[in-house]
A = this chain, B = another copy of it.
Amino acid sequence: MSTQLLRAVNIMVSRDGIGAGENQRLDQPFGDGLDPAVLFSWAGATASWPNRTEPGGSRGLDDYFTRDWNRNIGAEIMGRNKFTPYRGPWEDHPEWQGWWGDEPPFRTPVFVMTHHLRPPLTLSDTTFHFIDADPATVLSRAREAAQGKDVRLGGGVTTIREFLEADLVDTLHVAVSPVEAGHGIRLWDSPEDLLDRFHLDVVPSPSGVTHHLFWRR
């Protein structure tokens, strides 16, 4: 039995299961029709939010989720569309180095799934590896890089779906915000879609989001 879990942590969707709008681009990283500030506000209010720039913040329920983000994580897997708003060959946007500046918060190897290969990119403590492979192969590479620690499945929701379909996800935390997106890129039709394979705790937070905690049966 592997004790290295694949954990999707702090995945944020609307009440109707949408994680991003369509037509994602540089000035609208989450695309049209869905304001990411609404999805992220619960996390941004916590003391442990990695992007926090001033002291303070809440240390109640929501903070358990933001501070769990990097606990015992040795590598991350993300889809190409989380790394960049651009599509097509990397050569068209040679200066793009991800959304996170010179010190990305990951501080581990990160495996970016893409059909367009390129050499690894190291920024401070984070190295991005670009990999064109199926989910099981990517997970195998990430587990090796994680050196005994867990692997975080970082999203977006399309990538989460691929790993769920391949039955590779061990735990999944989804924060559902009380907004309707209507259309966009969808994680699920309903959380109940996963109940054949997962236990589920549904935990309403005083902040207004409802945390959905899935773990493998």
Contacts and interface: CB of A to CB of B under 8 A. Distances in A.
Interface of A: 1, 47, 55, 58-61, 63-65, 67-68, 71, 170-171, 199-201, 203, 205-206, 211, 213, 215
A15 to B, nearest CB: 20
Contacts of A65: 64
A171 B59 contact: yes
Most B Cβ at <10 Å: residue of A64, A170, A203, A215:
A64
B206 A61 contact: no
Interface majority SS on A: helix, strand, loop or mixed?
mixed
Contacts of A206: 201
A63 B215 CA distance: 11
A206 B214 CA distance: 13
How many chain copies does the complex carry? 2
A60 B213 contact: yes
A64 B59 CA distance: 14
Nearest to A200: B60
Contact of A213 (B47, B61, B71, B215): B61
B59 A213 contact: yes
Given A67-B71, A71-B67, A71-B71, A203 B61 contact: yes
